[in-house]
């Protein structure tokens, strides 16, 4: 037993924060390093490639605007996954919830006319978010009442969502003026505009939502209940928290966030629902949530990073003659290093009980 | 009983083991003679387990060396230790419950016939011979889960002997036994040593040490305090060696003055997770100002009884009343709101959220109430000052209130739970194994707190597998065996022997 000298709470918090931040930053640097080796092996100049990537994502106001636009649905997708993790749930169904959010926002965007912007746009946005929430609640209820693992049910519901939205976009909600299976363009009053010429308003909505999520988790009693269930549902039961209720609610809010991500993409970028346009956004959410170590505020920079890589990829391909698939490889490596945290901890010599190990979903077969 | 003339079979010299930031073993030396029972005594965290894990090849020492029969050895893993004749019986048995005794014994060193086929007949024969030779009666074909705990332990010993162990390490072997089963184990230990086997017996129970050991080695804070022989020791001298100061083993308390009935349990039945009835028609009452002790060997329905009374497990039959109110189908929250405090049996599973800072654990079941909540918002300032006050009142040793509960020692974790539960108005306290596995200082403190609560008029239901705890705190005792109450005893009637018989299910 060693006796420790007392430390101030603030000091201790700062130390925990720095240790926690060191892991994802190192993961990104490691991924970039291995990406550079791959670039050299394929005969390209990594310095030229990376500087083109940075130029294409942050080099001009237009490039920066594009980065933020890419980051917007990623913030919400990342928040959805991070929020579920806080409640001990692994929501892999972000993709399905996002698709429902995107198509319902699109339907509300073209189907209702005569409303002013201040009502129409928020209505379409919240409508999409609620559609995602309802869809995710199915998995939450299945988990709470039957014990069905949410990883299985959300994956299966992803396929159902892909096919239902395809069916709608090719059927009742199809734009009959063309042959492409997609919904009609949304009305002007439903569109999320840009600020100035380049800055997407949607990004600021998403960033504000990230703050709200942080506030909900850390400053409300409901957030305390959600985090308690997420970290130890037995102790939550002991403490008088109704675990089933919190599980359903957590899943619902997670789906709300994913659905809003889809709605923002429809209302702010694509302008309509078109099958195939939103693929992958829900899954990028997992990378972002892990990179942010499930902290809602850290989701913003994590999403900007991934958004920048995706936004700058074409510039890199153009300038450095590098296939933009290398971006997918680097993104996969980031996911690899943040998941295989032990490797990074070993490199940084951070012990397992330091830097706040992140508890994700409760494992297989647990209650 | 002096066996120090016998040859030395095992010698550890200057063993030091450093973990990052912790010195778990500091220049520890130990000798074991042939045919000797060496008790290794020390509090939790004193470094006993670390030392034994080094001897068993699970850890590697940072410094120091180990000799077996005078020969220097280096163990890379338990297999090396086994090859050198060391066998270990862990506190939690390493047995496959659905397999037979003989299958468990040979697991990993199976007897083969040609073509990779198991020669179970020969294995049964070998196991029977072993058990006859060492007086360890057991049916080789019995299935482990059908056997009582004491017999399962015998199987563990046979397992070690089957691997030709001549040095046995027994880690807290009596923790799961009734006093009678423990006596039987001591008989077996003496039989084994008579045949030349040497035993290291790890424990924190002072009575047993004096009863069974040939020599006693005491560890404190990673250091070996000394090795003594039991003849010139008493419980209090040993306790002092173990803790480093004078310890009051006896809880000082006055007579109880029971008043109103606070808990009444009527014919209560409860099922476990496998839907087996494990609390069977239990009735009891606890009055304000008294401690009712529930004694019994672990696993006789005490856990499920406590979980039912705290709303955590559904009741399958009967009723119970708290302060006159029928609470049979109440939720945990509703029961807490009747001013019931609950110290749960498993502090890490139920009592604490390990990654949470201490301050959040201090309000785990009061977070929704003012001043910790303003409506639906949490009040961080109130939570912090509450935690700071409790940490100082209950002497929780921690660098700060934002330290995660996971980094506290067992005793301090338990103090956090006790502080939380006693920091609100309490009418009924349900305490399950309140001092299991914690240091003597914390035990003293928590016992004092429980008696203080009683003296303030709280009704206390104390469930414990430690007979000493039951005897020193209770005003009345009931014994649970296989889900039933075997009888209620006054403290005058409750002798160790009588309780032991009831705990084993004997009614006469």
Could you tell me the pLDDT band of residue A354, with boundaries at 50, 70 and 90? low
Tell me the mean pLDDT in the region B437-465. 91
* B333/A353 Cβ within 8 A: no
State how far the Cα of B211 lies from the Cα of B186, in Å rounded to an integer: 9
Measuring CA to CA, which residue among A332, A357, A331 is closest to residue A344?
A357
- pLDDT for the residue numbered A178: 83
- pLDDT for the residue numbered B115: 77
CATH number, domain B249-339+425-508? 3.40.50.300
Interface test with A, best of B362, B399, B403 (most A CBs within 10 A): B399
CA-nearest residue of chain A to B44? A1
pLDDT at A4 over 50: no
Tell me the mean pLDDT in the region B188-204. 92
- pLDDT for the residue numbered A164: 95
Name the percent of chain B lying above pLDDT 90: 60
pLDDT at A236 over 80: yes
Name chain B contacts of A4, Cβ cutoff 8 Å.
Answer: 399
pLDDT at B221 over 90: no
Name chain A contacts of B395, Cβ cutoff 8 Å.
Answer: none
Measuring CA to CA, which residue among B322, B349, B351, B331 is closest to residue B419?
B351
β-pair type (B476-481, B291-295):
parallel
Could you tell me the pLDDT band of residue A1, with boundaries at 50, 70 and 90? very low
Query: B8-243 with B249-339+425-508: one CATH topology?
Result: yes
Q: In chain A, positions 194-233, which contact chain B (CB-CB < 8 Å)?
A: 218-225, 228, 231-232
Instruction: Report the SS3 class of residue A80.
Output: helix
Min mean pLDDT across A174-188, A338-352, B350-364 is at A338-352
β-pair type (B484-490, B63-68):
unpaired
**Does the domain made of B8-243 have the CATH classification 3.40.50.300?**
yes
Strands (E), A245-319: none
- Total-model pTM: 0.82
pLDDT tens sequence across B340-356? 999 999 898 999 999 99
* A12/B399 Cβ within 8 A: yes
Name chain B contacts of A234, Cβ cutoff 8 Å.
Answer: 349-350
pLDDT at A74 over 80: yes
State how far the Cα of B344 lies from the Cα of B350, in Å rounded to an integer: 6
Q: A71-320 belongs to which CATH class?
A: mainly alpha
Could you tell me the pLDDT band of residue B43, with boundaries at 50, 70 and 90? confident
Could you tell me the pLDDT band of residue B6, with boundaries at 50, 70 and 90? confident
Average pLDDT of the residues of chain A: 88
- pLDDT for the residue numbered A358: 58
- pLDDT for the residue numbered B475: 95
State how far the Cα of B87 lies from the Cα of B105, in Å rounded to an integer: 13
Tell me the mean pLDDT in the region B107-116. 79
Any B CB within 8 A of A325 CB: no
- pLDDT for the residue numbered B2: 60
Could you tell me the pLDDT band of residue B248, with boundaries at 50, 70 and 90? low
State how far the Cα of B214 lies from the Cα of B230, in Å rounded to an integer: 7
pLDDT at A232 over 80: yes
Question: Are A360 and A294 a contacting pair, CB within 8 Å?
Answer: yes
Average pLDDT of the residues of chain B: 90
Tell me the mean pLDDT in the region B158-180. 88
Q: Which of A5, A234, A242 sits opposite B350 (nearest CB)?
A: A234
Higher-scoring residue by pLDDT: A55, B407:
A55
Higher-scoring residue by pLDDT: B214, B235:
B214
Name the percent of chain A lying above pLDDT 90: 63
- pLDDT for the residue numbered A3: 39
β-pair type (B112-113, B484-490):
unpaired
Any A CB within 8 A of B88 CB: no
- pLDDT for the residue numbered B447: 94
Q: Which of A2, A6, A232 sits opposite B400 (nearest CB)?
A: A6
For residue B238, count CB atoms less than 10 angstroms from its CB and return exposed for 0-12, middle for 13-18, buried for 19 or more: buried
- pLDDT for the residue numbered A8: 64
Question: Are B457 and B255 a contacting pair, CB within 8 Å?
Answer: no
State how far the Cα of B48 lies from the Cα of B203, in Å rounded to an integer: 9
Could you tell me the pLDDT band of residue A367, with boundaries at 50, 70 and 90? very low
Could you tell me the pLDDT band of residue B465, with boundaries at 50, 70 and 90? confident
Residue B86 has φ and ψ, to the nearest 5°, of -100, 130
Residue B463 has φ and ψ, to the nearest 5°, of -105, 125
pLDDT tens sequence across A99-142? 999 999 999 999 998 999 999 999 999 999 999 999 999 999 99
- pLDDT for the residue numbered A2: 39
- pLDDT for the residue numbered B249: 66
For chain A, give every domain's residue range.
16-44+322-359, 71-320
- How far the first Cα of chain B sits from its last, in Å, is 36
Where b means 16+ CB within 10 Å and e means fewer, A113-148 reads: eebeeeebbebbbbbbbbbbbbbbbbbbbbbbeeee
CA-nearest residue of chain A to B350? A235
Interface test with A, best of B309, B402, B410, B439 (most A CBs within 10 A): B402
Min mean pLDDT across A125-129, A210-214, A277-281, B69-73 is at A277-281
pLDDT tens sequence across B45-65? 788 888 999 999 988 899 999
- pLDDT for the residue numbered A159: 94
Measuring CA to CA, which residue among A208, A256, A270 is closest to residue A70?
A270
- pLDDT for the residue numbered A7: 54
pLDDT at B280 over 90: yes
Per DSSP, the residues of B320-369 read: EEETTEE-TT--HHHHHTTTEEEE-S-IIIII--TTSBHHHHTTTTTTTS
Per DSSP, the residues of B268-315 read: EEEE-TTS-EEEEEEEEEEETT-EEEEE--TTSSHHHHHHHHTTSS--
pLDDT tens sequence across A242-288? 999 999 999 999 999 999 999 999 999 899 999 887 777 878 899 89
Q: Which of B20, B355, B397 sits opposite A359 (nearest CB)?
A: B355
- pLDDT for the residue numbered B45: 72
Higher-scoring residue by pLDDT: A283, A215:
A215
* B376/A221 Cβ within 8 A: yes
β-pair type (B223-228, B215-220):
antiparallel
For chain B, give every domain's residue range.
8-243, 249-339+425-508, 351-424
Tell me the mean pLDDT in the region B296-325. 94
* A356/B377 Cβ within 8 A: no
Any A CB within 8 A of B66 CB: no
Measuring CA to CA, which residue among B462, B94, B466 is closest to residue B305?
B462
Q: Which residues contact B428 (CB under 8 A, 6 or more apart)?
A: B262, B263, B286, B322, B323, B338, B339, B340, B341, B458, B459, B460, B461
Tell me the mean pLDDT in the region A315-336. 85
β-pair type (B223-228, B167-171):
unpaired
- Which range among A310-324, B98-112, B253-267 has the greatest average pLDDT? B253-267
Tell me the mean pLDDT in the region B66-80. 91
Tell me the mean pLDDT in the region A151-170. 94
- pLDDT for the residue numbered A341: 73
- pLDDT for the residue numbered B379: 96
- pLDDT for the residue numbered A364: 40
pLDDT at B116 over 90: no
Name the percent of chain B lying above pLDDT 70: 98
Could you tell me the pLDDT band of residue A351, with boundaries at 50, 70 and 90? low
* B352/A224 Cβ within 8 A: no
Tell me the mean pLDDT in the region A66-90. 95
Higher-scoring residue by pLDDT: B474, B411:
B474
Q: Which residues contact A133 (CB under 8 A, 6 or more apart)?
A: A97, A252, A253, A255, A256, A259
- pLDDT for the residue numbered B114: 76
């Amino acid at each position: 037993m060693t006796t420790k000298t007392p430390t101030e709470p603030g000091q201790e918090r700062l130390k925990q924060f720095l240790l926690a931040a060191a892991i994802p930053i190192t993961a990104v640097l490691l991924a970039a390093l291995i990406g550079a080796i791959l670039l050299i092996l394929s005969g390209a100049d990594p310095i030229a490639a990376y500087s083109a990537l940075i130029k294409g994502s942050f080099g001009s106001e237009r490039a920066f605007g594009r980065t933020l636009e890419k980051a917007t649905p990623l913030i919400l997708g990342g928040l959805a996954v991070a929020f579920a993790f806080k409640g001990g749930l692994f929501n892999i169904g972000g993709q399905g919830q996002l698709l429902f959010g995107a198509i319902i926002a699109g339907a509300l965007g073209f189907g209702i006319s005569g409303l002013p912007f201040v009502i129409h746009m928020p209505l379409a946005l919240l409508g999409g978010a609620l559609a995602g929430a309802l869809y995710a609640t199915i998995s939450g209820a299945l988990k709470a009442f039957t014990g069905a693992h949410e990883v299985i049910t959300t994956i299966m519901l992803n396929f159902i969502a892909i096919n239902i939205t395809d069916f709608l976009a090719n059927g009742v909600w199809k734009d009959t003026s063309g042959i492409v299976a997609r919904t009609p363009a949304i009305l002007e009053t439903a569109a999320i505009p840009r600020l100035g010429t380049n800055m997407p308003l949607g990004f600021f909505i998403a960033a504000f939502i990230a703050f709200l999520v942080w506030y909900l988790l850390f400053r409300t009693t409901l957030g305390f209940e959600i985090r308690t269930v997420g970290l130890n549902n037995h102790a939550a039961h002991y403490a008088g928290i109704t675990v089933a209720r919190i599980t359903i609610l957590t899943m619902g809010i997670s789906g709300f966030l994913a659905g809003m991500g889809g709605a923002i993409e429809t209302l702010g970028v694509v302008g309509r629902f078109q099958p195939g346009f939103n693929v992958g956004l829900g899954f990028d959410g997992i990378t972002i949530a892990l990179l942010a170590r499930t902290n809602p505020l850290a989701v913003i920079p994590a999403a900007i990073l991934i958004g920048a890589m995706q936004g700058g990829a074409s510039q890199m391909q153009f300038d450095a003659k590098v296939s933009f698939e290398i971006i997918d490889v680097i993104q996969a490596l980031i996911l690899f290093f943040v998941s295989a945290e032990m490797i990074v901890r070993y490199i940084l010599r951070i012990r397992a009980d330091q830097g706040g190990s992140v508890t994700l979903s409760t494992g297989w077969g647990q209650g | 009983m002096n066996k120090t003339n016998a040859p030395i079979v095992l010698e550890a010299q200057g063993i030091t083991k450093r973990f990052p930031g912790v010195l778990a073993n500091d220049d520890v030396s130990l000798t074991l003679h042939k045919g000797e029972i060496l008790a290794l005594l020390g509090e939790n965290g004193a470094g006993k387990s670390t030392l034994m894990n080094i001897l068993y090849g699970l850890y590697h020492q940072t410094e120091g060396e180990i000799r077996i029969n005078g020969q220097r050895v280096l163990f890379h893993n338990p297999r090396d230790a086994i090859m050198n004749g060391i066998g270990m019986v862990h506190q939690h048995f390493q047995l496959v419950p659905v397999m037979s005794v003989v299958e468990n014994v040979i697991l990993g060193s199976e007897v083969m016939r040609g073509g990779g086929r198991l020669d179970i007949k020969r294995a049964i024969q070998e196991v029977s011979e072993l058990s006859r030779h060492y007086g360890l009666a057991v049916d080789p074909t019995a299935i482990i889960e059908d056997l009582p705990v004491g017999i399962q332990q015998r199987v563990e010993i046979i397992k070690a002997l089957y691997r030709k162990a001549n040095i046995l390490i027994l880690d807290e072997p009596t923790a799961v036994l009734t006093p009678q089963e423990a006596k039987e184990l001591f008989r077996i230990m003496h039989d084994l040593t008579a045949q030349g086997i040497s035993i290291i017996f790890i424990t924190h129970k002072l009575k047993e040490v004096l009863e069974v050991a040939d020599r006693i080695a005491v560890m404190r804070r990673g250091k070996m305090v000394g090795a003594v022989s039991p003849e010139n020791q008493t419980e209090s001298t040993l306790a002092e060696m173990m803790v480093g100061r004078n310890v009051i083993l006896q809880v000082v308390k006055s007579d109880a003055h029971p008043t109103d009935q606070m808990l009444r349990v009527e014919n209560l039945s409860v099922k476990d997770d496998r839907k087996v009835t494990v609390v069977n028609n239990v009735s009891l009452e606890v009055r304000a100002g008294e401690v009712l002790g529930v004694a019994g060997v672990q696993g006789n329905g005490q856990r499920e009884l406590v979980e039912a009374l705290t709303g955590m497990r559904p009741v399958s039959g009967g009723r119970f009343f708290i302060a006159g109110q029928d609470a049979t189908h109440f939720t945990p929250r509703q029961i807490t709101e009747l001013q019931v405090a609950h110290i749960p049996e498993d502090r890490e599973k139920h009592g604490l959220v390990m990654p949470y800072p201490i301050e959040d654990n201090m309000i785990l079941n009061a977070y929704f109430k003012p001043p910790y909540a303003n409506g639906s918002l949490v009040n961080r300032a109130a939570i912090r000052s509450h935690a700071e006050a409790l940490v100082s009142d209950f002497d929780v040793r921690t660098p700060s209130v934002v330290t995660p509960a996971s980094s506290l020692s067992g005793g301090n974790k338990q103090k956090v739970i006790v502080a939380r539960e006693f920091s609100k108005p309490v009418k009924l306290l349900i305490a399950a194994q309140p001092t299991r596995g914690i240091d003597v200082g914390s035990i003293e403190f928590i016992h004092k707190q429980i008696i203080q609560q009683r003296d303030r008029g709280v009704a206390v239901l104390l469930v414990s597998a430690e007979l000493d705890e039951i005897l020193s705190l209770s005003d009345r005792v009931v014994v649970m065996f296989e889900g039933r109450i075997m009888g209620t005893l006054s403290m005058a009637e409750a002798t160790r022997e009588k309780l032991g018989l009831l705990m084993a299910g004997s009614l006469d």
